[in-house]
Amino acid sequence: MTAKESRVEAFDHLDRTAGSARKRLFIGLITGASILICGLLVLLWVIPYIGLAQIHPTAPWVLGLALAVLVGIVGWASLGLVLNILLGRSLPLTRRLRGLTIKIFLPLMVLLGKILSISKERVRSSFIKVNNELVLTEAGRYTPEQILLLMPHCLQNSRCDMRLTYDINNCKRCGKCPIKELLEISERYGVHLAIATGGTIARRIVVQTRPRLIIAVACERDLSSGIQDTYPLPVFGVMNLRPHGPCLDTGVPMHDLEQALQRFLIDPPAPTVLPMATNPAPSR
């Protein structure tokens, strides 16, 4: 095994083992959500059972068979997801699990979480964790032009007047916020870097740069909605740092970001950010 392959494997392993509580929450909610769906399907069969028998004696069984197939698909998909999370590998016929998780399971999990008084933030954070694992399982490696680093506007120092949304190169690189370091990383790796102030601008940036993979930094809410909006485009989510609370002078875990670049680039240069490196404290 080459040094690069072992770095990639170490990153995959680290990312999979981190946040096991979030994974447990996800597994619990996805199991609950699939039991809920299967229960509803069974009810769909039981309720019209008597009425259908009057149309034709075999009609209830035809409906029952169709619903049993659906129950099987839901059960297989959720079992596939759980095993994928635990083993880090896809089961046969479950390659499109990310789409299923995003479109069906996440809304149901948020609903179930609400019933069980689990906060949306916790459910979203577990969803991001699992999405990242599915992206790690499915995504390959890309050239620098195929990767977009998408950043939230709240990283910019709140006292800085530079307009960065349309051109991040307007930054004067004074070092009072993480934008300077991000520009240096994007130049070193040759990847696109952009700042989005909301979903509409994020979509415009994606259309303009046409990436094959997005590495996005944001809070739980923006990351989970971004992952949903851009599906089937894979988004690897990195949670931002919030030393001053949400949406104000936020930070980037630079080491995690660089590790993700090392993982997804075909031939990355040697990493530069040390594991314990932190962002400069914003001067306010």
Tell me whether residue 183 or residue 239 sits nearer to ligand SF4 (CB atom).
Answer: 183
Alpha-carbon span 27 to 8, nearest angstrom? 25
Alpha-carbon span 39 to 277, nearest angstrom? 49
Using an 8 Å Cβ cutoff, are 243 and 137 in contact? no
Q: Could you tell me which residues come within 8 angstroms of residue 132 by beta carbon, excluding any fewer than 6 positions away? A: 15, 236, 237
Check the CA dihedral 184-189-192-193 and report its sign. negative
Alpha-carbon span 79 to 66, nearest angstrom? 20
Tell me whether residue 82 or residue 179 sits nearer to ligand SF4 (CB atom).
Answer: 179
Smallest distance from ligand SF4 to CB 219, Å: 19
* 235 φ/ψ angles, rounded to the nearest 5 degrees: -120, 120
Kindly give the interhelix angle for 20-46 and 106-115, rounded to the nearest 10 degrees: 100
Q: What is the total count of residues that contact ligand SF4 (CB under 6 A)?
A: 13
Asked if residue 284 binds ligand SF4 (CB under 6 A), the reply is no
Smallest distance from ligand SF4 to CB 282, Å: 8
Tell me whether residue 120 or residue 153 sits nearer to ligand SF4 (CB atom).
Answer: 153
Tell me whether residue 251 or residue 268 sits nearer to ligand SF4 (CB atom).
Answer: 251
Smallest distance from ligand SF4 to CB 182, Å: 9
Question: Residue holding tokens 């179930």?
Answer: 112
Restricted to residues 151-190, the positions that interact with ligand SF4 (CB under 6 A) are: 156-157, 160, 162, 171-177, 179-180
CA angle (201, 207, 208) in 5-degree steps = 90
Tell me whether residue 81 or residue 257 sits nearer to ligand SF4 (CB atom).
Answer: 257
Smallest distance from ligand SF4 to CB 21, Å: 34
Tell me whether residue 173 or residue 221 sits nearer to ligand SF4 (CB atom).
Answer: 173
Smallest distance from ligand SF4 to CB 250, Å: 12
What the block records as the tokens of 10 is 């170490």
Alpha-carbon span 195 to 193, nearest angstrom? 7
What are the Cα distances from residue 280, in Å, to 254, 261, 272, 284? 11, 21, 16, 12
Tell me whether residue 152 or residue 268 sits nearer to ligand SF4 (CB atom).
Answer: 152
Restricted to residues 103-162, the positions that interact with ligand SF4 (CB under 6 A) are: 156-157, 160, 162
Smallest distance from ligand SF4 to CB 159, Å: 7
- In the chain, the DSSP E strands lie at 147-152, 192-196, 213-218, 235-239
Smallest distance from ligand SF4 to CB 72, Å: 53
- Tell me which residues touch ligand SF4 (CB under 6 A): 156-157, 160, 162, 171-177, 179-180
